[in-house]
Amino acid sequence: MRVFHILPGSVSESSTLPMVLPPTGYVWIACGRREFELEQGAVQSTLQVLCGLTLVDLHLSDLLNNQLPSHYDYTSQYDVLVFRRLAAGHTETDLAHPGAVLTQATKRSGPPVLRRIDTSPVGFAVFDRVLLTVHPAGCQVLDQYASRLMTAVSVTSRAAGVNLPPHPADLMLRIINQMVDGYLDLRRELTRQLDHWQAELLHPKTRFNNWSSLLDARISLHQLDEICEDQRAAIQDWIEALEEWEPGEYNGGQRGLDLLRVRSRDVLEHIERVVHHVRRLEQNAETAVQMHFSAQSNRTNDIMRTLTALTAIFLPLNLIAGIFGMNFEFIPLVHQQAGFWWALGSMLLTAVVLGVLFWRKRYLARTK
């Protein structure tokens, strides 16, 4: 468990739950899901001291549910947002050791880049001056943003224009934005993998045998599409609820609310980019499969056309051979010394004429 005291110009971290709310700023309590399950009584007591209320039972269940889709809910005192992340790495929590990570990841199907995308939910409980986040074990987003938060108070960062989140809702949106951007970083590798499969599918001299991985990739992309749709619906519900907020001391007044709405719309735009990219990859995979079978059908048609042309060439030769093979006593050229050569020459001439004719009509041409 990590606890951050975020003031207007500084950030401090501790490993114990605070019992007194600081005069200024707010508190960020970040803990793992299994850790939160074991210490939810202490966390509830801290929320009662700091905020004067606790989380309701249904929201506790939402934060502890590892299979819950992205969604948004609220009360008159706080808001709850569950957001399924799309980040590299898929890990499980060791139930015997809270906060520890199993070394063996859950086996998933699909290409390597899709197997590395973790879709575990991250829960946010937003109070006026407290932000409670529940992460999966080994959450890189938490570690990366905590490091970024600690370095944001340096002189160099302030000179570069990096500002600390002014209130808990802004901090939540920044963390969500980082989670969404984490998938955008993986899209190049995923696109490269699918482009490689498309090249194999359309290569005329390659026999594609990786159908199971391609099918798994299509299923995984469809699942990602559903996850992104849930993400977008949750953020849209958050934006609609944000329109009813009243300017106050803890949300930065009217300007703070405007900035919060702008940041929320920016997060929604990033999610829509992810949705667009995932759907485009789905369409590319489907198009590649259709083009593969179309190319195979064209190759089959070319083979059948060539075989038909060769059959048409040999039909007259069989006719000539059949005529001279009849059991009649008197057949022209049969008893002549040059009869065999006349028959052979006529057969060769017929084959050459038909071969040239079919070649000019491109019945025997090679299709590239």
Question: pLDDT tens across 259-300, in order?
Answer: 888 989 998 898 888 888 878 877 877 777 777 777 777 778
- How long is the chain? 368
In DSSP notation, 299-329 reads: HHHHHHHHHHHHHHHHHHHHHHHHHHTS--S
Instruction: Say how far apart CA 242 and CA 253 lie, in whole Å.
Output: 13
325-334: Cβ within 8 A, 24+ apart: none
Q: Which of 288, 301, 292 is nearest to 204 (CA)?
A: 292
Instruction: Say how far apart CA 141 and CA 149 lie, in whole Å.
Output: 12
pLDDT by residue, tens only, the chain of 368 residues? 889 888 887 888 888 888 888 888 899 999 888 888 888 899 999 999 988 899 999 999 999 888 888 999 999 889 999 998 765 554 444 334 444 444 344 444 455 556 656 678 899 999 988 999 998 877 777 777 888 777 766 644 444 445 788 889 999 998 888 888 777 666 777 777 777 767 776 666 666 666 666 777 777 777 778 888 898 999 999 999 988 888 877 767 888 888 888 989 998 898 888 888 878 877 877 777 777 777 777 778 888 888 888 888 888 888 888 887 787 777 777 777 787 888 888 888 888 888 888 888 877 766 55
Q: Which of 365, 354, 6 is nearest to 171 (CA)?
A: 6
**Could you tell me the strand order of the sheet in which 79-84 lies?**
11-14, 2-6, 26-32, 130-135, 121-126, 79-84, 71-74
Strands (E), 104-174: 117-118, 121-126, 130-135
Instruction: Say how far apart CA 195 and CA 199 lie, in whole Å.
Output: 6
- 176-216, pLDDT tens digit by residue? 888 887 776 667 777 777 777 677 766 666 666 666 667 77
Residue 264 and residue 173 in contact, taking contact as beta carbons nearer than 8 Å: yes
Q: Which of 76, 73, 77 is nearest to 48 (CA)?
A: 77
Instruction: Say how far apart CA 14 and CA 283 lie, in whole Å.
Output: 48
The answer to pTM > 0.75 is: no
pLDDT at position 117 is 66
Domains of the chain: 2-294 (3.30.460.20), 302-360 (1.20.58.340)
Alpha carbon 190 to its chain's center: 8
